[in-house]
């Protein structure tokens, strides 16, 4: 039997073992519309039962030795390695990933597990000074039950990057993947941890619609909500969690800028810009959504970027050697095309692309924009590269910061000049001489402004902060004297 044999998961939920679901949904291949299987969908009642069971199972999981928890995480990483090809196939067919992107995502997943295997034995507290004759300690304790809500674009890693550290630190998890990618973003994770020896009841897989999302936020047993997705939905989750006095870690949208400084190598810059805008059809929160190019290089850069865009084939990544696969569904495809056509109608120039090809969209370059056009202001979530010029460093900083988002910025060219610009930019991440899309398991990840609540993902410090609570403990050699 393979790891993802459909006999195990078809029409079922993973909640204290695999159980028949009351509701179900077809698993659709976006490139062809073909049905790949049938996934079980959760209800609000399923969430309530799962949360109660998770709270019970979490107590014994938290009491498990750090070495045992670390072993589960290490074994999970080994399973991702052993079943990489099978998992990549699902990412290609269900999520529309090109093969290279699918391989990159699996590598991130196994790296996340190995990185998180160190968390159980990571220092989790500090010794404090005290005016009294006692020991004073601040120790980190598991938060309890954590809800993880993950999106469709990088479904495996964007769920796992919260699931793995939360489990490693002694929490139980309710995982709600996007129902469009419930296999690669849900069943894969459940099966890996099941095979890795995670005790029953600690991890629950609950795909579903907005009512299920609301239930995993509102369940009384849940103390932390980790959400990756759109800014409007993130705002709603943050508001609801705040009223319930729960912590919400929100990694939201982005309209990320790539700044090309005077004197930069234009061909290399255009290559970086194309990768940043067109990887996974631009369906990444870190996608390069704004190309800001010094006026001395603007024409040359636009010509080079246009040539690269026109050379990128679009098609079905499961059956063709293509650079761009399908967008996740027809609604998103039409939204992207609408933003492009509205911007052209407003005066922008279409230098390349702007065309629907089957279930995909050609790599697109827009020039002649003003900063109030939709292709410049909005997070497109498609393979579109809007290009605009700048004259001074001050103007570049102003254009970068004139955006509701603040997730990732790339700066290409002279390092000293880039450092000066970086100091003027509001962004969760800045990459000098790289494009905007980058992630590593040991690096903090997050954004500012409408991009979220800061770096709550990646690296030991961020993970411990995200998925534990601080408890103050004091110890005296004998009972203290009191005046009463």
> Residue 243 is part of a domain; what is its CATH number?
3.40.605.10
Together in a domain, 327 and 405: yes
Q: Residue with structure tokens 């299987």? A: 37
Instruction: Note the helical H segments in 117-230.
Output: 155-168, 188-195, 210-218
Together in a domain, 282 and 178: no
Task: Mark whether 379 is an active-site residue.
Answer: no
The rounded distance, in Å, linking the Cα atoms of 420 and 423 is: 5
DSSP string, 70-97: HHHHHHHHHHHHHTHHHHHHHHHHHH--
Together in a domain, 196 and 94: yes
Together in a domain, 184 and 95: yes
CA 326 to chain centre: 19
Active site residue: 194, 285, 379, 403, which one? 285
- pLDDT of 234 reads 96
Together in a domain, 300 and 247: no
* Residue 132 located in a structural domain: yes
Together in a domain, 146 and 113: yes
Structure token pair of residue 165: 């550290």
CA distances from 150 to 132, 336, 441, 460 (A): 47, 22, 17, 21
- pLDDT of 306 reads 98
Give the angle 215-221-222 at the CA atoms, nearest 5°.
65
* Residue 155 located in a structural domain: yes
Together in a domain, 167 and 278: no
* Residue 284 located in a structural domain: yes
The rounded distance, in Å, linking the Cα atoms of 390 and 70 is: 50
How many CB atoms sit inside 10 A of residue 482's CB?
5
- Count the helices and strands in the chain (H runs, E runs): 16, 23
- pLDDT of 459 reads 87
Spatial CA neighbour of 402 closest among 231, 230, 255, 233 = 255
Active site residue: 112, 251, 379, 403, which one? 251
* Residue 241 located in a structural domain: yes
The secondary structure of residue 253, as a DSSP letter, is -
Together in a domain, 48 and 191: yes
Structure token pair of residue 253: 């949208």
Structure token pair of residue 139: 């120790």
Domain span at residue 283 reads 256-432
Residue 144 main-chain phi, psi, to 5 deg: 130, -105
* Residue 442 located in a structural domain: no
Give the angle 12-171-144 at the CA atoms, nearest 5°.
105
Together in a domain, 124 and 175: yes
- pLDDT of 454 reads 83
Structure token pair of residue 407: 């997730």
Residues contacting residue 414 through CB under 8 Å, at least 6 positions apart: 261, 263, 264
Spatial CA neighbour of 227 closest among 213, 215, 208 = 213
Report the DSSP beta bridge partners of residue 23.
Answer: 41
Q: How many domains does the chain have?
A: 2
Task: Mark whether 116 is an active-site residue.
Answer: no
The rounded distance, in Å, linking the Cα atoms of 255 and 454 is: 16
- pLDDT of 1 reads 63
CATH of residue 266's domain is 3.40.309.10
* Residue 1 located in a structural domain: no
- pLDDT of 443 reads 92
214-217-222-226 Cα dihedral, nearest 10 degrees? 140
- The reply to whether the predicted model has a pTM over 0.75 is yes
In three-state form (DSSP H/G/I as H, E/B as E, the rest C), the secondary structure along 36-76 is EEEEEECCHHHHHHHHHHHHHHHHHHHHCCHHHHHHHHHHH
* Residue 437 located in a structural domain: no
| H helix or E strand, kind and range, residue 422 | helix 415-422
How many CB atoms sit inside 10 A of residue 127's CB?
10
Together in a domain, 126 and 243: yes
* Residue 103 located in a structural domain: yes
Q: Which residues of the chain have pLDDT under 70?
A: 1
Residues contacting residue 423 through CB under 8 Å, at least 6 positions apart: none
Together in a domain, 269 and 186: no
Together in a domain, 413 and 463: no
CB 119 within 8 A of CB 460: yes
Q: Is the dihedral of CA 102, 106, 112, 115 positive or negative?
A: negative
Residue 117 main-chain phi, psi, to 5 deg: -60, -20
């Amino acid at each position: 039997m393979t790891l993802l044999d459909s006999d195990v998961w078809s029409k079922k939920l993973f909640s204290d073992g695999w159980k028949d679901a009351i509701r179900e949904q077809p698993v659709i291949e976006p490139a062809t519309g073909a049905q790949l299987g049938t996934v079980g969908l959760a209800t609000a009642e399923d969430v309530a039962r799962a949360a109660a069971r998770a709270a019970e199972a979490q107590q014994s999981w938290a009491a498990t030795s750090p070495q045992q928890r670390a072993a589960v995480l290490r074994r999970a990483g080994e399973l991702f390695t052993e079943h990489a090809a099978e998992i990549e196939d699902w990412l290609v067919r269900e999520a529309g990933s090109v093969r290279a992107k699918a391989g990159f995502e699996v590598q991130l997943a196994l790296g996340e597990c190995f990185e998180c295997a160190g968390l159980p034995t990571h220092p989790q507290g500090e010794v404090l000074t005290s005016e009294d004759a006692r020991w004073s300690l601040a120790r980190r304790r598991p938060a309890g039950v954590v809800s993880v809500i993950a999106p469709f674009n990088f479904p495996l890693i964007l769920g796992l990057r919260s699931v793995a550290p939360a489990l490693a630190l002694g929490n139980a998890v309710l995982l709600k993947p996007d129902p469009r990618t419930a296999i690669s973003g849900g069943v894969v994770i459940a099966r890996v941890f099941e095979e890795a020896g995670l005790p029953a009841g600690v991890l629950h897989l609950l795909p579903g619609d907005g009512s299920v999302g609301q239930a995993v936020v509102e369940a009384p047993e849940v103390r932390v909500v980790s959400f990756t997705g759109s800014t409007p939905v993130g705002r709603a989750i943050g508001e609801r969690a705040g009223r319930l006095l729960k912590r919400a870690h929100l990694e939201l949208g982005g309209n990320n800028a790539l700044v090309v400084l005077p004197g930069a190598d234009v061909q290399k810059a255009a290559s970086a810009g194309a990768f940043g805008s067109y990887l996974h059809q631009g369906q990444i929160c870190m996608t390069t959504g704004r190309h800001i190019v010094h006026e001395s290089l603007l024409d040359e850069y636009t010509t080079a970027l246009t040539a690269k865009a026109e050379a990128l084939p679009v098609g079905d990544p499961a059956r063709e050697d293509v650079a761009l696969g399908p967008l996740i569904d027809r609604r998103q495809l039409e939204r992207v095309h609408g933003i492009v056509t509205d911007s052209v109608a407003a005066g922008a120039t279409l230098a390349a692309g702007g065309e629907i090809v089957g279930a995909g969209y050609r790599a697109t370059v827009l020039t002649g924009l003003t900063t109030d056009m939709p292709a410049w202001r909005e997070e497109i979530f498609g393979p579109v590269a809007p290009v605009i010029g700048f004259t001074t460093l001050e103007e570049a900083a102003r254009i970068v910061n004139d955006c509701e988002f603040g997730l990732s910025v790339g700066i290409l060219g002279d390092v000293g000049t880039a450092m000066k610009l970086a100091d003027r930019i509001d962004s969760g991440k800045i990459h000098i001489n790289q494009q905007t899309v980058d992630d590593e398991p040991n690096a903090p990840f997050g954004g500012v402004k409408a991009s979220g609540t800061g770096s709550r993902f990646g690296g030991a410090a961020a993970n411990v902060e995200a998925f534990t609570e601080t408890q103050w403990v004091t110890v005296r050699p004998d009972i203290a004297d009191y005046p009463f």
